[in-house]
């Protein structure tokens, strides 16, 4: 699957509800999912992690980030290409 396909899938399935919720409300949902991912990391670090749950939380974070991009009319594939692949990508360390 190409990233643009995923973004279109999320748009077709959820955009009406997402747009009505708006950026502030959607960002809260996104933040909650990031928190759930952090909890999954914590469980993993303690040795009682569930790898299936970790993958699920990564997917949820990606879906909510994609939702935010859709509400803001940002093409994520183009944004990633511009930031990381144009002119050798960003400089410095991360």
Residue 90 in tokens = 């960003």
Convert the pLDDT of each residue in 14-40 to its tens digit. Answer: 999 999 999 999 999 999 999 999 999
* pLDDT for position 16: 96
CA 9, 13, 17, 19: dihedral to nearest 10 degrees?
20
**Shortest CA distance to 2 belongs to which of 70, 85, 78?**
78
Q: Each residue of 53-63: pLDDT tens digit?
A: 999 999 999 99
Q: Average pLDDT, whole number, for the chain?
A: 94
């Amino acid at each position: 699957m190409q990233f643009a396909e995923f973004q279109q899938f999320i748009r077709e399935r959820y955009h009406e509800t997402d747009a009505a919720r708006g950026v502030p409300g959607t960002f809260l949902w996104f933040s909650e999912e990031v928190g759930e991912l952090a909890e999954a990391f914590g469980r993993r670090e303690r040795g009682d992690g569930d790898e299936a749950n970790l993958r699920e939380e990564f997917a949820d974070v990606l879906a909510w980030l994609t939702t935010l991009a859709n509400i803001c009319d940002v093409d994520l594939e183009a944004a990633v290409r511009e930031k990381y692949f144009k002119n050798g990508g960003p400089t410095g360390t991360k």
